[in-house]
Amino acid sequence: MSTLINTTVKPFKTTAFHKGEFVPVTDADLKGKWSVVFFYPADFTFVCPTELGDLADHYAKLQEMGVEVYSVSTDTHFTHKAWHDASETIKKINFPMLGDATGTISRNFEVMIEEEGLALRGTFVIDPEGVIKVCEVHDLGIGRSAKELVRKIQAAQYVASHDGEVCPASWQPGEETLSPSLDLVGKI
């Protein structure tokens, strides 16, 4: 797998289920704000609703941070609506649920499992210029943590707005950062 870090999101267009409506979404919608593109294998499954419910529980915090979330699976927007109507967990979702029935978006982000027509669990944090800053891909059986995603976005936003500073492991907002220099080599 090649790295997508610091590459620009490739063009796409699709339909999403969002707030009871079917709406168009394109790569242009990701520009001008921080975004998360959150791939999962399929609707009506096992680990996926736990992840999406966790993300829904953290959505207000992400919105406060100026972040929009886009969940993506290779299901259609019609399937997303049916799942939303059938599941109490999925009813909590207020972010757009993108359909990727052609697999274009999954292939653009290099998470498509061709033999199965499903996406791996991929999380991508994209800056306001449309550049990928965080890329995390999991095997299908390993669920993700929205709390850790929030922390990673906070670190990415901090680094983006504080030239010359970097965030050490497990950094939390308000904690000390580092300014890389020769003086730090071998002293951490």
Annotated catalytic residues are 48
Calpha distance 53→188 (Å, rounded): 38
Q: How many helices (H) and strands (E) does the chain have?
A: 6, 9
Joined tokens for residue 40 = 């999962």
Closest among 102, 115, 124 to 40, alpha carbons compared: 124
Write the CB contacts of 188 (distance below 8 Å, at least 6 apart in sequence): 168, 178
Calpha distance 10→153 (Å, rounded): 21
Match 């499992």 to its residue by tokens. Answer: 113
